[in-house]
Amino acid sequence: MAISLQKGQKIDLTKKDGSQLTNLMVGLGWKEMQQGGGFMGLFKAKQDVDIDASVLMLGADGKLHANENIIYFGNKDHSTGCVHHCGDNLVGGKMGGMDDSEQILIDLARVPAQIERIVFVVNIYDCVRRKQHFGMVENAYIRIVDKGSNETIASYNLTEDYSGKTAMTVGEIYRHNGQWKFNAIGQASYEGGLGELVKKYS
């Protein structure tokens, strides 16, 4: 049974037999909130919000040391093959027959030794011009799936009010004493795009 995490909670990424997980699928999901409109607000319509999920691979100092360590819809694969972005979903909702809006594949056995943190971030595409923010999104979550058994190991539902915020660090996989762990972060911020997010780690 999947563990439901709270903000700031950390777990070991291990199998039922206690061995280390290696092949993971990280699913991120969200849905556009229904907006009131039409006659007396009786009719509701979704406003499409294009949210982009990205991965930042950081060293022990918490910094990015190469552009190849930024995995996003424009650079879907790390050169080592340890991270693969499955593609951009422009309007949220289901992907690949599942509820995930975007999915990222991780092979922890192939992560370079100098990478200590694999950080999952999301931002709203063209948020300034489109005047969009995370208050227009609901049911956001991140989940960690064991690719071997196809079982969800843990999930974290982001339930805070993120109105006005346009970017978010959702969670991270990190090394601790030679073992991989997951940290549920859920920290929202005001960056206008991935470029601004990246500057925080440069």
Quote the pLDDT of residue 89: 62
Report pLDDT digits (tens) over 12-68. Answer: 998 878 888 999 999 999 887 765 544 444 444 455 778 899 999 999 999 999 999
Quote the pLDDT of residue 121: 94
Report pLDDT digits (tens) over 108-118. Answer: 999 999 999 99
What is the token pair recorded at 71?
């995995």
Q: What percent of the chain has pLDDT over 70?
A: 87
Quote the pLDDT of residue 97: 40
Q: Rounded distance, CA 164 to CA 39, Å?
A: 27
Q: Containing H/E element for 56?
A: strand 51-58
| Residues 173-192: b if buried by 16+ CB within 10 A, e if exposed | bbbeeeebebbbbbebeebe
Most confident of 7-16, 40-49, 67-76, 89-98: 67-76
Q: What percent of the chain has pLDDT over 90?
A: 62
Residue 132's identity, in one-letter code, is Q
In this model, does residue 98 exceed pLDDT 70? no
Q: Rounded distance, CA 96 to CA 167, Å?
A: 25
What mean pLDDT is predicted for residues 85-102? 65
In this model, does residue 190 exceed pLDDT 60? yes
Quote the pLDDT of residue 63: 96
What is the token pair recorded at 18?
């206690």
Structure confidence at residue 1 as a pLDDT band (50, 70, 90): low
**The overall pTM is greater than 0.85:** yes
Domain 3-13+20-35+43-199 in this protein, CATH class: mainly beta
Each domain of the chain, given as residue ranges in start order, spans 3-13+20-35+43-199
Q: Containing H/E element for 127?
A: helix 127-130
